[in-house]
């Protein structure tokens, strides 16, 4: 496929990016530079203190940290000082009910302000915070609360009913704090707003998250206080957050992005953040971008594709001139989406790659760097990324393999909760490429994603290892087929799988969601369209990669964080059990 490059113009580089020269910084970088920019207590640290409290010693004390809007239009805002005092209160309430360092305190709330200051309060007393998507039903809650042996749960009246149904299976759950109850209101009011923040060893646990489970049973990924180093650095250099920005990250803190870049990293650089508690809704989202004068926007490909599917007139009704920088994460970003944003918003989305396990952005496109459209960019300074084979040997330029990282980076997970062997299974010993002639034995963290690296050092995503299709001896990445399909005017989204085939091993099968105007077409017209889409992929991608089967569907199965769940498409196709669906969006 032809690679198109978006060259940065003088206008793109105004105001000057926080990271001005990627290559040079990568070469000379040392984490100790970042360590110096954070606040320490004699070798100890607290991530929540660094996110919020440290700003109280500066002019940011009365700066707005959080602009909040509810689905019903209600609004509120909090300064850094207010967030600090409220989180102190929560810390004291938790201590009152017996929470100690290392205890698990989980939050089961929609994106309301209480979620944010509770999260900070938990970290401040040295307990381990966990977040649960408010859409979780009983089974999903039970799995996570049992596995983590959660001691205290913070929730609201409505959601508590679900917990009550499984309460008898939760012997470790000593207290449930209900944020909209009179009792909680009173204890918060009574609690002191002074708290001595726990001084944590950088390796002590701060929060844990059950991954979205795109590929299997959710696992409890545990992160330390040290992670704030990387979250801070990437908020500054990848998201390019500045003091006069108003920043909107659309992720839910039930997902790692909502923790690292809506609480810890973003506030640690002192930015004013906006949070919307409501659902995805194109006109509403545009209206919020306008109303809050959002300057930096961090969202996901699924949302961008849905915006692209709207009538072009919609966008024209809003004044989005304040936007200056766009980033995307969570799934491969289709080239078409970048071209769309350049055309309609006047600037490209910057894709970045990371995982729950990596705790922070690891590979990214930077403001100061040209974008090869469709690439994930280059590893952040301080992180070594490579493409290795299954034995951990680095493969050559432009060759497909496992995307791997060299341990350790500051926000690397510390363990998988109560599953040390699962944790170990991420790592293999292998060989680094000849560095000045010498082969070196090194350890690699295997990400589970496949990709390749080009001559300029840009990384390209192929697919999750489990999703890569083997057809007639060729390997096909679902992402490139999906991207080719999305480029066709009839297609909103596509999910591509390998369907077992006696002749070819697997054939490429595509599930396609059509644009409105195409949904009403007759059977004959649709059959014709199938032929046209097949030709389109053959022409734009490759003859062997075209989908031999195409099925039109209304909606793709996705996780709550918006990722296409190809394993569900595949299980359904093959009539197999679909496995854990706790993170599946209502379908
Ligand atoms: P599980 O590991 O439980 O199956 P998950 O992998 O979906 O869940 P996350 O940790 O939230 O849970 O997702 C990380 C994965 O998302 C990456 O490994 C990758 O497959 C995908 N991903 C994230 N960002 C990008 C990106 N910019 N481009 C391509 N893929 C991405
Ligand atoms: Mg994963």
Tell me the per-residue pLDDT of 509-531, one tens digit each, with 9 for 90 and over: 999 999 988 988 899 999 999 99
Q: Which atom of ligand 1 is nearest to the CA of 328?
A: 27
Highest mean pLDDT out of 28-32, 217-221, 556-560: 28-32
The residues, ordered by sequence, that sit 6+ positions from 277 with a Cβ below 8 Å of its Cβ are 68, 69, 70, 71, 110, 111, 112
* Residue 438 pLDDT > 70: no
Q: What average pLDDT score do residues 455-482 get?
A: 92
Q: What average pLDDT score do residues 129-145 get?
A: 93
Peptide bond into 136 cis (omega under 30): no
Among the residue ranges 92-101, 238-247, 307-316, the one predicted with the least confidence is 307-316
Does the beta carbon of 353 sit less than 6 angstroms from any atom of ligand 1?
Answer: yes
Residue 174 confidence (pLDDT): 98
Half-sphere exposure (Cβ direction) of 68: Cα atoms closer than 13 Å: 19
pTM of the model: 0.94
- Number of Cβ within 10 Å of residue 68's Cβ equals 18
Residue 437 confidence (pLDDT): 59
Mutate which of 355, 467, 557, 558 for ligand 1 pocket (most atoms within 8 A of beta carbon): 355
Mutate which of 326, 352, 356 for ligand 1 pocket (most atoms within 8 A of beta carbon): 356
- Contact criterion met (CB below 8 Å) for 240 and 261: no
Ligand minimally distant from the alpha carbon of residue 256 = 1
**Nearest protein Cα to ligand 1, atom 18:** 355
Residue 82 confidence (pLDDT): 98
DSSP codes joined into one string, 518-576: HHT--HHHHHHHHHHHHHHHHHHT-GGGS-SEEEE-S---BBTT--B-HHHHHHHHHT-
* Residue 320 pLDDT > 60: yes
d(CA 579, CA 571): 9
Q: Which atom of ligand 1 is nearest to the CA of 255?
A: 11
| CATH code for the part of the protein at 384-464 | 2.30.38.10
Residue 283 confidence (pLDDT): 97
Q: Which atom of ligand 1 is nearest to the CA of 351?
A: 27
276 is written with which tokens? Answer: 């919307």
Q: Which atom of ligand 1 is nearest to the CA of 479?
A: 29
**Nearest protein Cα to ligand 1, atom 27:** 353
d(CA 157, CA 63): 32
Identify how many contiguous H helices and E strands the chain contains and give both numbers: 20, 28
Q: What is the pLDDT of residues 255-304, one digit of tens each?
A: 999 999 999 999 999 999 999 999 999 999 999 999 999 999 999 999 99
Which of 335, 529, 364 shows the shortest CA–CA distance to 458? Answer: 364
**Nearest protein Cα to ligand 1, atom 23:** 330
- The residues spanned by each domain of the chain are 5-364, 384-464, 469-574
Does the beta carbon of 351 sit less than 6 angstroms from any atom of ligand 1?
Answer: yes
Residue with tokens 């320490």: 40
> Separation of 22 CA from ligand 2 center, angstroms?
27
The Cα-based distances of 226 to 203, 230, 275 in angstroms read: 6, 8, 25
> Between 301-308 and 335-345, two packed helices, what is the crossing angle to 10 degrees?
60
Residue 59 confidence (pLDDT): 98
Which of 129, 48, 127, 120 shows the shortest CA–CA distance to 95? Answer: 127
Mutate which of 131, 144, 214 for ligand 1 pocket (most atoms within 8 A of beta carbon): 214
Q: Which atom of ligand 1 is nearest to the CA of 215?
A: 4
- Percentage of the chain lying above the pLDDT 70 cut: 97
Q: What is the pLDDT of residues 470-506, one digit of tens each?
A: 988 888 989 999 999 999 999 999 999 999 998 888 9
Residue 436 confidence (pLDDT): 59
Q: Label residue 215 by pLDDT band (50, 70, 90).
A: low
* Burial grade of 517 (CB within 10 A; 0-12, 13-18, 19 or more): exposed
Residue with tokens 């799995």: 143
> Separation of 574 CA from ligand 1 center, angstroms?
24
Peptide bond into 278 cis (omega under 30): no
**Nearest protein Cα to ligand 1, atom 28:** 332
* Residue 216 pLDDT > 90: no
Residue 582 confidence (pLDDT): 79
Q: Label residue 581 by pLDDT band (50, 70, 90).
A: confident
Residue 311 confidence (pLDDT): 87
Q: Label residue 109 by pLDDT band (50, 70, 90).
A: very high
* Residue 129 pLDDT > 80: yes
Does the beta carbon of 46 sit less than 6 angstroms from any atom of ligand 1?
Answer: no
Local structure of residue 67 (DSSP, 8 states) = E
Q: What average pLDDT score do residues 568-587 get?
A: 82
Local structure of residue 22 (DSSP, 8 states) = H
Paired sense of beta strands 438-453 and 427-435, if any? antiparallel
**Nearest protein Cα to ligand 1, atom 24:** 330
> Separation of 257 CA from ligand 1 center, angstroms?
11
The residues, ordered by sequence, that sit 6+ positions from 174 with a Cβ below 8 Å of its Cβ are 97, 98, 151, 152
> Separation of 558 CA from ligand 1 center, angstroms?
12
CA 321 and chain centroid, separation: 26
Q: What is the pLDDT of residues 225-268, one digit of tens each?
A: 999 999 999 999 999 999 999 999 999 999 999 999 999 999 99
Residue 19 confidence (pLDDT): 98
> Separation of 213 CA from ligand 1 center, angstroms?
10
Architecture of the CATH domain 469-574: 2-Layer Sandwich (3.30)
Does the beta carbon of 213 sit less than 6 angstroms from any atom of ligand 1?
Answer: yes
Q: Which atom of ligand 1 is nearest to the CA of 447?
A: 18
Q: What average pLDDT score do residues 342-369 get?
A: 98
Does the beta carbon of 358 sit less than 6 angstroms from any atom of ligand 1?
Answer: no
Give the 3-state secondary structure percentages of the chain, helix then strand then coil, rounded to 5.
35, 25, 40
* Residue 443 pLDDT > 60: yes
d(CA 297, CA 242): 13
Paired sense of beta strands 401-405 and 385-388, if any? antiparallel
Go through the chain and tell me how many residues it has. Answer: 587
> Separation of 454 CA from ligand 2 center, angstroms?
24
Q: What average pLDDT score do residues 123-149 get?
A: 94
Q: Is 66 helix (H, G, I), strand (E, B) or coil?
A: strand
* Burial grade of 25 (CB within 10 A; 0-12, 13-18, 19 or more): middle
> Separation of 143 CA from ligand 1 center, angstroms?
21
Residue 586 confidence (pLDDT): 63
What's the CA dihedral at 28, 34, 37, 38 to 10 degrees? Answer: -170
Q: What is the pLDDT of residues 79-89, one digit of tens each?
A: 999 999 999 99
549 is written with which tokens? Answer: 């089967």
What's the CA dihedral at 77, 78, 80, 83 to 10 degrees? Answer: -140
Average pLDDT over the chain, rounded to an integer: 94
Residue 2 confidence (pLDDT): 78
Residue 149 confidence (pLDDT): 98
Q: Label residue 214 by pLDDT band (50, 70, 90).
A: low
Which of 561, 537, 560 shows the shortest CA–CA distance to 547? Answer: 537
Residue 292 sits at φ, ψ, to 5 deg, of: -90, 5
Q: Which atom of ligand 1 is nearest to the CA of 563?
A: 7
Which of 98, 94, 212 shows the shortest CA–CA distance to 154? Answer: 94
Q: Which atom of ligand 1 is nearest to the CA of 256?
A: 11
> Separation of 330 CA from ligand 2 center, angstroms?
10
The residues, ordered by sequence, that sit 6+ positions from 276 with a Cβ below 8 Å of its Cβ are 68, 69, 111, 248, 250, 285, 288
219 is written with which tokens? Answer: 């696992």
Answer whether CATH 3.30.460.80 is correct for domain 5-364.
no
Q: What average pLDDT score do residues 104-111 get?
A: 98
**Nearest protein Cα to ligand 1, atom 1:** 213
Q: What is the pLDDT of residues 36-73, one digit of tens each?
A: 999 999 999 999 999 999 999 999 999 999 999 999 99
Instruction: Assign residue 473 a region (left: φ > 0; alpha: ψ between -120 and 50; beta: otherwise).
Output: left
Ligand minimally distant from the alpha carbon of residue 479 = 1
DSSP codes joined into one string, 41-87: BTTBB-HHHHHTGGGGGSGGGGSEEEEEE-TTS-EEEEEHHHHHHHH
């Amino acid at each position: 496929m032809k690679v198109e490059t978006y060259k940065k113009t003088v206008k793109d580089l105004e105001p000057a990016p926080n990271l001005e020269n990627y290559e040079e910084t990568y070469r000379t970088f040392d984490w100790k530079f970042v360590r110096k920019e954070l606040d320490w207590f004699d070798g100890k640290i607290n991530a929540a203190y660094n996110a919020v409290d440290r700003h109280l010693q500066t002019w940011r004390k009365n700066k707005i940290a959080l602009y909040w809007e509810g689905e019903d239009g209600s609004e509120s805002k909090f300064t850094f000082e207010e967030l600090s005092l409220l989180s102190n209160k929560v810390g004291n309430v938790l201590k009152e009910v017996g929470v100690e360092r290392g205890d698990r305190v989980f939050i089961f709330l929609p994106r309301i302000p209480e979620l944010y200051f509770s999260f900070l309060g938990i970290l401040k007393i040295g307990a381990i915070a966990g977040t649960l998507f408010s859409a979780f039903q009983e089974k999903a809650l039970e799995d996570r609360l049992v596995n983590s042996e959660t001691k205290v749960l913070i929730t609201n009246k409505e959601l508590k009913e679900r917990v009550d149904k499984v309460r008898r299976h939760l012997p470790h759950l000593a207290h449930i704090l209900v944020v909209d109850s009179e009792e909680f209101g009173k204890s918060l009011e009574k609690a002191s707003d002074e708290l001595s923040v726990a001084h944590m060893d950088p390796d002590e646990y701060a929060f844990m998250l059950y991954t979205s489970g795109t590929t299997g049973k959710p696992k409890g990924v545990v992160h330390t206080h040290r992670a704030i180093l990387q979250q801070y650095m990437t908020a500054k250099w990848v998201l390019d957050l500045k003091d006069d920005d108003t920043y909107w990250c659309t992720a839910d803190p039930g997902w790692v992005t909502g923790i690292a870049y809506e609480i810890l990293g973003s506030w640690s650089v002192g930015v004013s953040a906006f949070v919307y508690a409501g659902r995805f809704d194109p006109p509403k989202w545009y209206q919020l971008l306008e109303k809050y004068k959002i300057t930096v926007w961090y969202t996901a490909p699924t949302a961008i594709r849905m915006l692209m599917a709207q009538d072009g007139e919609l966008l024209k009704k809003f004044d989005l001139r304040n936007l200056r920088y766009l980033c995307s994460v969570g799934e491969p970003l289709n080239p078409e989406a970048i071209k769309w944003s350049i055309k309609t918003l006047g600037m490209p989305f910057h894709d970045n790659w990371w995982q729950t396990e990596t705790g922070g952005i690891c590979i990214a496109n930077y403001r100061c760097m040209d974008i090869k459209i469709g690439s994930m960019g280059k590893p952040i300074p301080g992180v070594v990324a490579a493409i290795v084979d299954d034995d951990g040997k680095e493969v050559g330029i432009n060759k497909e393999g496992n995307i791997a990282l060299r341990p350790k980076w500051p926000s690397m997970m510390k363990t998988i909760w109560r599953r040390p062997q699962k944790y170990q299974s991420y790592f293999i010993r292998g060989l680094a490429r000849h560095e000045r002639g010498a082969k070196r034995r090194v350890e690699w963290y295997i990400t589970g994603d496949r990709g390749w690296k080009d001559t300029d050092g840009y990384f390209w995503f192929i697919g999750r290892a489990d999703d890569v299709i083997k057809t007639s001896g060729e390997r096909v990445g679902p992402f490139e087929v999906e991207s080719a399909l999305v480029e066709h005017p009839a297609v909103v989204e596509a999910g591509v799988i390998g369907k077992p085939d006696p002749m070819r091993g697997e054939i490429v099968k595509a599930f396609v969601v059509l644009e409105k105007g195409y949904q009403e077409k007759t059977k004959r017209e649709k059959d014709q369209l199938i032929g046209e889409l097949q030709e389109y992929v053959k022409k734009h991608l490759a003859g062997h990669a075209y989908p031999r089967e195409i099925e039109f569907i209304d909606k793709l199965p996705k996780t709550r964080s918006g990722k296409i769940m190809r394993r569900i498409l595949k299980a359904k196709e093959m009539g197999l059990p679909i496995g854990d669906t706790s993170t599946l969006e209502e379908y």
